[in-house]
Structure formats: C-alpha cells, structure tokens
Amino acid sequence: MEDIGARILAGDHQVQYGQNQRTKIKALVVDDNMINQALHRTLLRNLGIENHVVGNGREAVDVHCSGRRFDLILMDLDMPVMNGIEATKKLRAMGIQSTIAGVSSRSVDENIQEFWEAGLDDYQQKPLNFPKLVSILQKVNHSV
Amino acid sequence: MEVGQMQRQWLDYTKSLFLEGFLDGQFLQLQQLQDESNPDFVVEVVSLFFEDSEKLLNDLTSALGQQSVDFKRVDAHVHQLKGSSSSIGAQRVKNACIALRNYCEEQNIEGCIGCLQQVKHEYNMVKNKLENLFRLEQQIVAAGGSIPMTELGF
C-alpha cells in the first residue's frame, strides 16, 4: 500500500483531499422512490462518491449481512417492508458505525424524534440538494 | 427558426416557469446535475415523476370514491405525491398536496375531493409546461445548438 501519510506530509494536498473526502467515501442510498433514488445517486456521483442503491430498510440490512460496509447511509423514513426507524435500529444493533443520515420529506418538527433515537447522526428534509448533502458529508469527514 | 432565437425562447420560457411558481429551485438543481456524462437526467427524472404521479392520482381518486374513506390511506398517497413533486421542484403541485393533507387531517371528504381536483389541475399544467420545455430543448439540439443553461443567470 502507498504511504499516503508521507505524501500528505510532503505537501501533496491533492492526495489528502482525494483520499479523505472524495474517492474513499462509499455511500448507500436507502429509498423506495425511484425519483429520489435517481436524485440521490446523481448528487453523490457528481461529488465523486461511489454509491449503491437499495429500495427499503430490509435490503439495507441484508446488504450489510452480506458483508458490505459504507461510510455513509442516506436513510429514508417511510418505506415498505421495513421503514427507516427499524432499519437504523437493526444496523446499530449489528454494530454498524457508519454515518447514518435520515432523509425524509417530514419536516424537523413532524415527529422524527423516534427516527433520531434509532441512531441517526444527522437529519435533512427532502428534497436533497448539494448544500444539504455537503452538510451531511461534513459529519462523515469528522468521523472517518 | 434559427438557433439563437430558439435559445432566447427557451430562456424566456424557463424563467417564466420559475416566476409563475410552476417550478422552484429544486428543478434548477436537477438542471445543474445534468452534464455530458448524464445528458438526459432531467427528462429521465421528470418521466419518473409523471409515471409516479399518474399512479398516485388514480389511487387517490379511487380511495376518495369509497363508501367509507380510509383517510390514513389517502394521507399516505398524498404524502408520496408531495415528496415526488418537491423532489423535482413542481412547486404548485406540492402546495396543492399540502392543502389536501390538511383536509385529510380534518377528515373533510368534500374538502379532499375539491382539493384533489386542484392537485390534478396543477399536475396537468406543469406536465404540459415541462413537455413544452423539453420539446423546445429537442428542437435546439436538433438544430445543432446547446441549451444555454449558464445564461439563466440564477
């Protein structure tokens, strides 16, 4: 493996930026709505973030059971089969420490307390856009 | 029509859609996400919105036509339509959905039915406007021009 640390010390900031903030972040989009799937995946891709999309909370748990891990999970709330609250609880119970950001069309005062308590690190009201995604990513960078 | 003229027409038409409140900043966000690697992004997402909305409007019509209306079901459909319309920036559809949800909370059937007509009306209007916009874009591209996104100046 390359010694990234040495290159950063030598002043190669491009490496630092590229490794920590862009290419290295892997994201999982959990949303049942195809419009939001397309929007979230394109927002992430335009920031150079590799991403995988699933359609409900059960699939998000399954993909983790198969061993895949992500730095960031964008979690919808209202979904069929398993909603965002149950999925977040299950993932935390499995020891998943990824940054989980709740992203739903409910406003912050529309009883999302239970969602936060399930183990969220952040919450943004839909529709997601660049400023909201960048604010979520700052939380990822702090925990990486 | 020459390309320059079509491009000016596109700019005026796009601006009018924002000024008249049919579209909001979220639609601009979709336009900004479209690039060479993803040239049909806006049309693709808006087509998904059309499909989704038509299904939800049918579901809503049938849910409100039942003998005893299941308001929870109505609310779930409206919630989805509100989410889809806000994701593409169809502001007037979104606002009509918010009004419909309020009637739904009050369990006011007459109010819900009247409001559903308003949602359908707003949906048909924005659909028509977006189809005009896309047609104009196709004509510009077919004539060898490009869409003057940066000249929108937002």
Q: Which of B48, B79, B86 sits opposite A34 (nearest CB)?
A: B48
pLDDT in tens, A65-124: 999 999 999 999 999 999 999 999 999 999 999 999 999 988 777 778 999 999 999 999
CB of B127 within 8 A of CB of B50?
yes
Topology given in CATH for the domain delimited by B3-142? Four Helix Bundle (Hemerythrin (Met), subunit A) (1.20.120)
Minimal CA separation from B146 to chain A, in Å: 21
Q: How much is the ipTM here?
A: 0.90
Instruction: Tell me what pLDDT residue A4 has.
Output: 46
CA angle B120, B31, B1 (to 5 degrees): 90
C-beta pairs of B81-84 under 8 Å, 24+ apart in sequence: B81/B52, B81/B53, B81/B56, B81/B57, B81/B119, B82/A105, B83/A33, B83/A36, B83/A105, B83/A126, B84/A33, B84/A35, B84/B49, B84/B52, B84/B53, B84/B56
Q: Is the pLDDT of residue A6 over 50?
A: no
Mean of pLDDT over chain A: 86
Q: Is the pLDDT of residue A31 over 70?
A: yes
Distance (Å, whole) CA B93 – CA A56: 26
Q: Which chain A residues are within 8 Å of B26, Cβ to Cβ?
A: 127, 129
Q: Which chain A residues are within 8 Å of B29, Cβ to Cβ?
A: 127, 129-130
CB of A119 within 8 A of CB of A88?
yes
Minimal CA separation from B5 to chain A, in Å: 32
Domain of residue A8, CATH code:
3.40.50.2300
Q: Do B84 and A33 touch (CB under 8 A)?
A: yes
Number of separate domains in chain A: 1
Confidence of residue A142 (pLDDT cuts 50, 70, 90): low
CA angle B104, B110, B115 (to 5 degrees): 65
State the amino acid at position B30 in one-letter form.
L
Q: Is the pLDDT of residue A141 over 90?
A: no
- In order along its 154 residues, chain B shows pLDDT tens digits of 799 999 999 999 999 999 999 999 999 999 999 988 899 999 999 999 999 999 999 999 999 999 999 999 999 999 999 999 999 999 999 999 999 999 999 999 999 999 999 999 999 999 999 999 999 999 999 999 999 887 877 6
The domain spans of chain B are 3-142
Q: Do A42 and B38 touch (CB under 8 A)?
A: yes
Q: Do B87 and A43 touch (CB under 8 A)?
A: no
Q: Which chain B residues are within 8 Å of A38, Cβ to Cβ?
A: 41, 44-45, 48
Domain assignment of residue A29, given as a range: 4-143
Confidence of residue A12 (pLDDT cuts 50, 70, 90): very low
